Structure 1
Amino acid sequence: MVKEFKRSLTIAGHRTSLSLEPEFWEALTQAAAARKISLASLVAEIDSLRGERNLSSAIRVWLLQAKGRATPVTGAR
């Protein structure tokens, strides 16, 4: 079983703790770097879009959607 890692971030002036698997932390860090923003800024952006989902789930979904947007479509008709 993969262990989740907990990190604390300040989002919109509030300290919050997030638990994600190491692979998701790495992908999130890379996404923030690619956008030239801080990890906290990216998480705040995802937080503002998440609706009813918990924040950790929203981050995982956002990362999967971002990967889908970055994957070129080949052979599409």
Structure 2
Amino acid sequence: MIVKRSITIRGHRTSISIEDAFWTRLHAIAEARAQSIAGLVAVIDSGREPGSNLSSAIRLFVLDEALSRRS
């Protein structure tokens, strides 16, 4: 199920619509890195292509993390 979530990154509020499974993995990744969710999302946000969707960038980040662990 896709859920809309609000988060503050670099001092401004934004919302993302993301499935529970991706949100859960994002939390686990942040915890493993000793980062806050907002901090990790800020890193993802700063690395995405201009004009691209933040929710999609988060999904791709989580996917890349999962695939890198399988190698």
- Pairs within 5 Å for 1:1-77: 3-52=1-50, 53-72=52-71
CA RMSD of aligned residues (A): 0.9
Cα deviation, 1:24-45, whole Å, max 9, x if unaligned, reads 1101000100101000000000
* Separation of aligned partners in 1, 2:57 and 2:23: 13
Runs (4+) of structure 1 moved beyond 4 Å?
none
Unpaired segments of 5 or more residues in structure 1?
73-77
Q: TM-score, normalised by structure 1?
A: 0.85
Higher strand share: 2
Structure showing greater relative contact order (alpha-carbon pairs closer than 8 Å, 6 or more residues apart):
2
Superposed displacement of residue 7, structure 1: 1.2
* Identity, % of aligned positions: 50
Q: TM-score, normalised by structure 2?
A: 0.92
Cα deviation, 1:17-65, whole Å, max 9, x if unaligned, reads 1110110110100010010100000000000001132000000001111
Q: How many positions carry a matched residue from both structures?
A: 70
